[in-house]
Amino acid sequence: MPAQGALLFLHALKRWYHIKPSGGSEEINRHMLEVDNLLKKELPMDTVRLDINPSDKPVCRYLQNAVDNGLKHETGYIVTHLQKFTSILHWQYGYGNLPEDMKENYAYSEILGPRGLIKSSDIAAGVVLLAPAAFYHYHEHPDLTESYLNLAGYFSQNDQAVYPPESIVLNQPGKPHKITNDSSQPLLLAYIWTGSKKAILESRMVFD
C-alpha cells in the first residue's frame, strides 16, 4: 500500500540519522540528533493525506533509473520503501522564478511537512531529483537548516567535494549552495529541513 511506504521511508530515514556517524562534526551531530528526535515525535502518526494529488515533472523520466541505482547502496533500505509510493508523489519546483534549464532537469517532492503526504509543522523531509548533467543553481533557505542525504548518484556542492551515495551534507540557514551533477546518471537526494514552526510552514527557498 503506497501510504504505508511513505511511513516506512521516513522510519528508514530516521534510522540512518540515528545510527550513522557525523564525521566528528558537532554541527552535523547536533542536526542528526535533532532530526532523530523530531522524527521520533512525528512518526507515530499514521495518517497519510488523501488531498494531495500526485503530479509529475519532466525530470521524473529519470526516477526509475535513480531508484534502481539507489537500491545498490547501503541507503538502499531507504530507497526500497520509496519505490513503493512513487505513484502518489507530488513533484513540484518550489520556485516561481525557476531558471529555464532546470525545468526539464529538476523537481522535488515533500513527503513529510506542511505540504507533504504526511503532515508536520516541525520538520519537513522529501526527495530531490536531478537529471544527468543537471545544474541546481545557487539557492538558499533563509530560515531553515537543511541536510541532503545522497541516495543515488554523485554530486558536488559549491565545488567543495564529490559526494557519493550515503553522504550527508549540511547547509546552515542562509548559506548559498549550488549542486552540480556531471555524470550520465541521475541524482536522488533525500532532504530534511529543520527550523521554527514559522520557517517550516513558509519553507522558503530563494535563488541568489
CB nearer to Fe ion: give 77 or 93. Answer: 93
Cα 189 to Cα 126: distance, rounded to the nearest angstrom? 8
Closest chain position to Fe ion (CB): 146
Minimum separation from the CB atom of position 203 to Fe ion (A): 11
Q: How far is CA 80 from the centre of its chain?
A: 15
Residue 149 C-beta: closest distance to Fe ion, Å: 12
Least Å distance, CB 1 to Fe ion, is 31
Instruction: Identify which of residues 110 and 146 has a Cβ nearer to Fe ion in the complex.
Output: 146
Residue 8, H or E segment:
helix 2-19
DSSP 146-182: EEEEEEES-EEETTS-EE-TT-EEEE-TT--EEEE--
Report in angstroms how near the CB of residue 195 gets to Fe ion at its nearest. Answer: 13
Site residues (CB under 5 A) for Fe ion?
146
| DSSP β-bridge partners for residue 136 | 179
Return the number of the residue (78 or 170) whose C-beta is nearest Fe ion: 170
Nearer to Fe ion, 11 or 137 (CB): 137
